[in-house]
Amino acid sequence: MTQHPDPIVTIEPGQVRGSWRGGSAAFFGIPFAQGPVGDLRFAAPVPPEPWEGVRDATAYGATAKREKPGEKTLIPEPAVPGESTLNVNVFTPAPAEPAAALPVLVYIHGGGFTEGSPASPWYDGAAFNRDGVVTVTISYRLGFDGFGHIAGAPSNRGVRDWLAALEWVRTNIAAFGGDPGRVTIAGQSAGGGAVLTLLGMPAAQGLFHAVWALSPALADVAAERARTLSAKLANLAGVSATRDGFATVPEAKLFELQEAAASPDSKDPLAGILVLLQDGLSWGPMVDGDLIAQPTLASLRSGVGADVPLVLGATDDEFTMVTDSAKNKLRLIPASLALGKLQLEASRRKAYLAANGPQRRKGTAAVLGRYVTDEVFRAGIVRIAEARGEADTWAYRFAWPSPVIGWACHCLDVPFWFDCLGAEGVAEIAGGDPPRRLASALHGSAVSFVRDGEPGWPAWSAASGTTRVFGGDPSHPDVSADGYASVRALV
């Protein structure tokens, strides 16, 4: 096929012009909703206005993430200024070819529901395009603007943004060569929590057909806690806890104050970890009794989403690089005592330590990092897989330790999953020579799942505990009969 200098696609609101990049095309910053500013700031997303002529889509659109001077994150996620933050990026090998009907991947970025950007070079869809998958990355409102409780405003505005983006995909993706009947949603960290939230939402059913959750961090913020945080934020801002009150506070000021509102009052260095372990994330999807009627685990257990195949997994040491920085201070403190300070009761503590002998031999800092990893991420893998019963579910672990960081840490799996090992920032987390075979295996499984609905190893739902281990000890099998046995004391 002869490539036109500028690929142009006609969608419902008008025409968009992208750019060719080798064998595929990219379209950036296409609005799926109007900018959430002015009267629309705390509103549900509103469809974009149609436009005349051809809209340029050759540069990333504005992001909800704002620039923080000196900020350094594991994944490079640029902040793009501007007001029209509700947009999608589409990567496709078949623009303007509806008959291609290729499978579609929609990716939701992470960042604790307060940070993150769809403009990361790690989320580029080039490798998926190479393998015949149309790829979409979406933006959404973050922090309090997206998820805070506001009297007089719709709840879960960030969740409504996800739904609006998925509805945009259903309506428009055929124009980019995608099949709206074969949509897989995926995300990492908070993005992994997002896709599980959607899987458990009755209102989202039918908008996607498969789910892959990488290191999912569920929020499921209780309504009472959301109201308390909102009142605290209003007090810090000096306004009433209403839509009109919060509307008088600039977005940048609210972003600054939301961190203070969510921070524990105690100066104890463990206080923040305890809040995370006991209460979870402060800002994120709220169990509002309406859009999200019940916590995700309960919803999945009741059978919502049971017809949708699911893959989920985590890295072995999501959090250990944080506690590792204190290993010298912790080396003389017994692991059992340290876990007690994190309020793990004695009986479960004993069982947990017995199941984690290899980690215990690495020292107390390693045990604490693994424990927080397990409570926040890995125990949830087991709970969700078990809650799904016989519904098609596959589990995996990413076990390859970074030669730079020393652990299979949070975010390390993302460039392997996207097969983008040469992207900016990968060497800083994965070293200068990350194993290409590992990227081929993990990315290949993702492509297989998006294309065919199964990732290529036996399902957990067929034999509880069955787990694919990516990057583990080469002397051990790739598939473990109970790959998450070490977290079962916490489940």
Catalytic residue list: 189, 318, 410
Residues ≥6 apart with Cβ < 8 Å to 247: 41, 42
At residue 264, φ and ψ (nearest 5 deg) are -65, 150
Which contiguous run of DSSP H or E holds residue 129?
A: helix 126-130
| Alpha carbon distance 179, 216 (integer Å) | 26
Write out the two tokens for 72.
Answer: 């350094």
The total of other beta-carbon atoms located within 10 Å of residue 458's CB is 14
Structure-token pair, residue 268:
């104890």
What's the number of CA atoms in the CB half-sphere (13 Å) around residue 339?
28
Reference 114, options 69, 155, 64; nearest CA is: 64
Spatial contact of 104 and 136, defined as CB atoms under 8 Å apart: yes
Cβ pair 201, 292 in contact under 8 A: yes
Query: Encoding tokens for residue 94?
Result: 């078949």
CB 129 within 8 A of CB 100: no
Q: Check if the beta carbon of residue 214 is closer than 8 Å to that of residue 413.
A: yes
Q: CA–CA separation, 435 vs 439, rounded Å?
A: 7
Which two structure tokens, joined as six digits, stand for 98? 């509806």
Q: How many CA atoms, within 13 angstroms, populate the side-chain half-sphere of residue 203?
A: 16
In this structure, the number of other CB atoms found within 10 A of the CB of residue 19 comes to 15
